[in-house]
Chain A
């Protein structure tokens, strides 16, 4: 199963953009890239997903490299409430029920 690599932690200032990187060099052509986040004392929640094209929603943007070996989650203006662990996950279509969570990136937002 394709795996992802993320930095253990990152820090950002409030109201500044944040770029959270993810490497997935063994991604297959049909794997979807998902991002979830886990706020303190809560279960993970869905943020965004994509296949090949960049994606935007009300929470974030997802930029996917042309070769799909990496992606970046972009929070346009970080708030204190965005402090969480962010997980980059690949979903294989033949095992669509399995979401493989790694250790994620812990984002600290400074006021």
Chain B
């Protein structure tokens, strides 16, 4: 069974903290993605990576950075968490065939 796992289902952090969200896939996929999901706004792409050490900004990259040191792992970093980053964060991967994107279960992050 294909799998995308995320390090935490629920996370509570304080304003100003540095936050790491980890995502691991076991399908040897080249492409990995980070989205956030907010009520009424659907899923919005934050960053994606098409290869190790390669990344591209999505639609809402401000306040976030990413790291992809190994093919299977894609990390989302909130350098200084703020309350408006309270959201559900979803990681996904995409390989071949390129029509089926696999999502993790999500991390619900609350910043207080």
A residues with a Cβ closer than 8 A to B are 32, 34, 36, 41-46, 49, 87, 91, 96-104
Stretch in B14-22, B40-48, B61-69 touching the partner: B40-48
Contact (Cβ within 8 A) A97 B94: yes
CA distance A99 to B40 in the complex (A): 17
A-B contact number at CB 8 A: 51
Contact (Cβ within 8 A) B42 A98: no
Contact (Cβ within 8 A) B103 A96: no
Q: Identify the 5 closest CB pairs spanning chains A and B, nearest first.
A: A43-B103, A101-B43, A46-B100, A103-B42, A101-B42
Chain A residues with CB below 8 A from B50, complex form = 97
Residue of A44, A87, A100, A103 touching B40 (CB-CB under 8 A): A103
Chain A residues with CB below 8 A from B92, complex form = 43-44
Contact (Cβ within 8 A) B42 A32: no
Determine chain A's interface SS by DSSP, over half rule: loop
B residues with a Cβ closer than 8 A to A are 4, 31, 33, 35, 40-45, 48, 50, 56, 58, 90, 92, 94, 98-106
14 interchain pairs (CB within 8 A)? A41-B105, A43-B103, A43-B106, A44-B92, A45-B103, A46-B100, A87-B42, A97-B33, A97-B56, A97-B94, A98-B45, A102-B42, A103-B42, A104-B42
CA distance A28 to B46 in the complex (A): 24
Closest B residue by C-beta to A36: B101
CA distance A87 to B103 in the complex (A): 14
